[in-house]
Amino acid sequence: MENKKVMLIGATGSIGKRLYNSLKEKNYDLYVVSRNTQRAMEILPGAVSYIEYNINRPDELSEFINGIKGVVNLSGAPIFSKWRGDYEKEVVDSRVNGTRYIVEAIGKCSIKPEVLINGSAAGIYGYSENVAATESSPEGKDFWANLVSNWEREAYRAKDFGVRVVTVRTTLVLENGEGALAALVPYFLKGLGGYVRPGSQIFPWVHMDDEIGIITSAIENPNFSGPINSVGGNCTSRIFSESVGKALKKKSGLPIPGFIIKSLFGKASDLVLKSQLIKSEKIESLGYKIKFSDINIAMEDILKKKVN
């Protein structure tokens, strides 16, 4: 009988919720790990077990990992949030230390999972508008590149236990009411939306449906291994803004100064102020076909429910 047991860590986040519901529809037996198990039960009903996330108790986590098919780790403090006080440390520790905790728990299992799918980010490549980064490109040298490199290093330790490891290097995920769009769409609805200056910087992006499709393929296809760039397409800030405006039937308005984006997103403002051109040389060769590669079609699909 096929093993359909999958553990989701960070399942109450935007990607996690969609992944949970998608896997539930495919009759997976899901184990949810959360810092707040009561909240997880309310948001994600019907899991086999709800397990408390406790970085100091990997032994307890290993009991639930033992014998399951795969672990999907999407945990980490939200990037598009207010970066105040010690938030930078929280962003780093929640990813690096959190992944270490999961791999330590895997190492304690007598029956190891087949696969660990670990959240990651295309920020590992640094920034450039002239050279497309693929899975074989070198790492950058800035804050984001260092963070992702350390984060992935912890995940790949699971290979020492014979576990297949996939790191999904996600770009800007487009989803109705989540992430960057949750912050930007209200401005467009008021007629205040616009492109982020200078407007020529390149955004790599991925539709949530493709993000979920890539992660699911990584669970099911044993040929998925190592880093995978989760990207649907690339467009300039100006074109991105125009596509939001078209989908909402609103004008894209005046240019948005960089300091406003910095006030909204702190260090995460790099993701919309700097250029990054991302492609994947692995996705299609592994058999996954990107559903949304046109920004206008993607944005129309995502934001159609916002049009009244």
Give the percent of the chain with pLDDT over 70: 99
According to the model, what pLDDT value does residue 308 have? 42
According to the model, what pLDDT value does residue 305 have? 62
pTM given for the model: 0.94
Cβ atoms of 104 and 205 within 8 Å: the answer is no
pLDDT band at 157 (very low <50, low <70, confident <90, very high): very high
For the residues 50-61, what does the mean pLDDT come to?
96
Cα–Cα dist 193/185, whole Å: 7
**Omega of the bond prior to 198 within 30 degrees of 0, cis?**
yes
For the residues 198-209, what does the mean pLDDT come to?
94
pLDDT band at 71 (very low <50, low <70, confident <90, very high): very high
For the residues 110-136, what does the mean pLDDT come to?
94
Beta carbons within 8 Å of 265's beta carbon, 6+ residues apart? 79, 80, 81, 83, 180, 183, 271, 272
* Same topology between domain 5-172+207-231 and domain 179-202+234-306: no
For the residues 179-183, what does the mean pLDDT come to?
85
Residue 213 has pLDDT above 50, yes or no: yes
Three-class DSSP category at 169: strand
Determine whether domain 179-202+234-306 maps to CATH 3.90.25: yes
Reported CATH class of domain 5-172+207-231: alpha beta
Beta carbons within 8 Å of 207's beta carbon, 6+ residues apart? 173, 174, 232, 291, 292, 298, 301, 302
Residue 85 has pLDDT above 50, yes or no: yes
Nearest alpha carbon to residue 250 among 307, 296, 178: 307
Nearest alpha carbon to residue 117 among 52, 79, 68, 77: 68
For the residues 223-229, what does the mean pLDDT come to?
98
Least confidently predicted of 22-26, 185-189, 246-250, 263-267: 263-267
Query: In whole numbers, what is the pLDDT of the chain averaged over residues?
Result: 93
- Residue spans per domain, the chain: 5-172+207-231, 179-202+234-306
> Tens digits of per-residue pLDDT, 251-279?
877 788 888 888 877 888 888 899 999 99
For the residues 106-131, what does the mean pLDDT come to?
94
> Tens digits of per-residue pLDDT, 129-147?
788 999 999 999 999 999 9
Say how many C-beta atoms besides its own lie within 10 A of residue 257's C-beta: 12
Handedness of CA 37, 23, 104, 88 (dihedral sign): negative
Pairwise pLDDT comparison (179 vs 15), residue with the higher score: 15
Cβ atoms of 53 and 105 within 8 Å: the answer is no
According to the model, what pLDDT value does residue 307 have? 45
Say how many C-beta atoms besides its own lie within 10 A of residue 259's C-beta: 10
According to the model, what pLDDT value does residue 128 have? 82
According to the model, what pLDDT value does residue 145 have? 95
